[in-house]
Every structure is written in structure tokens, then in C-alpha cells.
Amino acid sequence: MVQQRKLDLNTPLDSNTNPTLEKVPLTPDLIEAALVLHGDYYSQSQTNLNKYIFWHPIPLSIYSIVFPIVICYQLWDFIIISDSVFEFLSFFGRTKDIYFGLIAVSPAIIIVFGVIGLIAYLLSDDIKTVCDNLPRQQYAKQIFGFDIKLFSWLDPTVNKAEDDIELLEKGNNTQFIIYRESPIAVCSLNPDYEHSTKEQFIINLTGLQVRRVFQKVDFEDLLLDWAITRSRELFQIYARDQKLKNYEENVKIIINTKAYVFNNNQLEILSKKGFVETSQSIELNPFVPSKYNTITTFLHTKLNIGIKTLSLTIVPTKEDEELIKDSIKPVTTTTTTGRASTRKRK
């Protein structure tokens, strides 16, 4: 494996490093960093889900009903003899018995918060499963579109066989933003050639994440702009390979992505870019379908927990062909027979 560029999200960036900002594609030495950043998205989503459940209208209704009833029951002797709110509050300075009444309420409060917390923990377990399994081939291939283990062993500085160069080129479908020589944001695309037709070219935006400390900067917008431009480039390559002509009125580029219902900031950013919701499911694992029992299904439905699928439709134009002309260069590759050959690559 190529030596990986380490990324620790718990460590601040080195202030002594030159403050340069650059965009780079995925290379074999950045595989680990890509997994860390994409994994951070699901880690933050798990935290967002716990907050979402805690402050959901249903739990809030439980708090507003149960807590006053329990408190009134325990302090009823003080409430009934008070002629005003001021007189009731005066008991807090006149007697310790009222404090014992409040202490007696604490077990009920702890039980309510404990039940809500347990529900949040159990419901968010699917997202934790994604965090734990993201490096696995079953998950990573759906994000990047290729075998990351093979990719991580390739050395771009060494002449490779044609298949290896094609694999390296797929790294162009992932874009990093590097600041102070450390990856701080990533966006990945995975073309869906299997379901693409002559009428529509489908691309999945499989990951978009920015480090928490940089989320107030518009890096998401920058990466989404890149994703749209890259999608146009990929379509031009697809149209060339499929020999599509006069396609302006007949073909559409569809970028699909998924976002959790409770990630409001992400949904807002996607909406501003023109993404519209096309469907919603109660699933929390976007890679492997989960089997929910009746209770879990009921909770997901009532709490409106799940994943939204959003789509952006782009109409390609002839001007898009200019996007790939300058980026196709002849390159010498080494075939399996050891003979040199020349091909064009993206």
C-alpha cells in the first residue's frame, strides 16, 4: 500500500504550515483521508439524530405533560395552601420539605430521559454500523465506484498497465479541498452506468463532507459546483463512448444523492443548488438494507426518521464538449506483455 496521508479530526491544523488552499482529486495516498472524512459525515449524523429525537415534538409533548403532573403531585401540599404564586415560591426559603419533594420527582425525570435516550441510541445504531463498516469493500465501492484496496496499492509515479491507469483515472470522481496540507473537505461521485440509458445519464453523489470547524465556510457550495461540472464531463465521455449524437433535446443528466431527514443544513444547501426530493424511506443505512421489526418501523415512521433521495436534472449542451478536450492527453502505458502502447486518457 502507498504511504497514506494521515488525517486526525481531533487534532488542530498545524499553524506553522503554509496556509495554502487547493483542490485535488483522489490519489492512492488519500484513500485513508477520504474514508475518515466520509466516516465523519455519518458520525456527525448520528449525533444529529440523537439531538433530533430529544427535541422532537413527541418527546417534547411527553416532557410538558409528565413533568408538570409529577411535580404537582409531589408538591401538592404546598400548592393547595398557597394563595398566590409568590407565596408558593416563598416556601423555597422557609422550609426544606419542598426540596425533598423535588428530590422525589427526580427518579421520574431520570426514567423519562433514560427511555428517550435509550430509544435514540437504539435507533441511531444503524448509522454507527455504517461508521464501523465504511472501509469494507461492500460500502466503499458504493462511494467511490472501485476497489479501494487495489487503488491504494497503485503508485502514480510508476508506469502502469492500461487497467491500472483506468483505475487511477476513477480517482478524478472524488475531489478534496486541502488546507495547510491537510484534507478538510471531500466530495465523491459514482456514475451509474448500469441504469443509464440514451435518454438519461445517472450519477450518484455518494458523499459530501466538510470538517466541522470549516462548515461555516461555503466549501459545500464549492464542491457541489465541482460535482455538477464533473458530471457534465462524465456525460461527455459517456456520450462519446456510446456514440450519442444530437442529444441536446433527448438526454438529461440526473445527479442523485441521499441525505438524512434530520440533517437540515445539508438539505438546505442541496435545495439551494436545485436538488429536489424524489423519495423518502425509513432506512438509516444507505448501503445495506435493514430489517426492522414492527416497533422500530413504528418509531421511524412516527418520528419521521429516514433518508431523503434528492435529484438534480441537468440538460447537456454542445458547449460541454469543451470540458473534456483539454483534459484528454496521450499517455504511454505498459501492457501486460511489456510492450509500450499509447492511449488517450481523461
pLDDT band, very low/low/confident/very high, at 296 (cuts 50, 70, 90): very high
How confident is the model at residue 163, as a pLDDT? 78
Pick left, alpha or beta for residue 12 (phi over 0 → left; psi -120 to 50 → alpha; otherwise beta). beta
Instruction: Enumerate residues 6+ apart whose C-beta is below 8 A from 70.
Output: 105, 108, 109
DSSP H helical segments within 124-278, as ranges? 125-133, 137-144, 148-152, 162-169, 219-242, 264-272
How confident is the model at residue 307, as a pLDDT? 97
d(CA 225, CA 273): 9
Which is nearest to 262 in space by CA: 46, 104, 65, 57?
A: 46
The full set of domain ranges for the chain reads 21-25+136-345
Residue 224 CA, chain-centre distance (Å), reads 13
Q: What is the gyration radius of the CA atoms in the chain, in angstroms?
A: 27
pLDDT tens string 267-281: 999 999 999 999 999
Q: What pairing do the DSSP bridges indicate for beta strands 307-314 and 252-260?
A: antiparallel
pLDDT tens string 115-156: 999 999 999 999 999 999 999 999 999 999 999 999 999 887
pTM, rounded to two decimals: 0.86
Phi, psi at 8, each rounded to 5°: -115, 110
pLDDT tens string 155-201: 877 766 777 888 999 999 999 999 999 999 999 999 999 999 888 99
For 38, other C-beta atoms within 10 Å of its C-beta total 26
246: which DSSP letter?
Answer: S
| pLDDT higher than threshold 70 for residue 22 | yes
How confident is the model at residue 77, as a pLDDT? 84
CATH 3.40.50.300 fits 21-25+136-345, yes or no: no
d(CA 344, CA 172): 15
d(CA 212, CA 40): 9
Which contacts (CB < 8 Å, 24+ apart) does range 137-140 have?
138/287, 138/288, 139/287, 139/288, 140/35
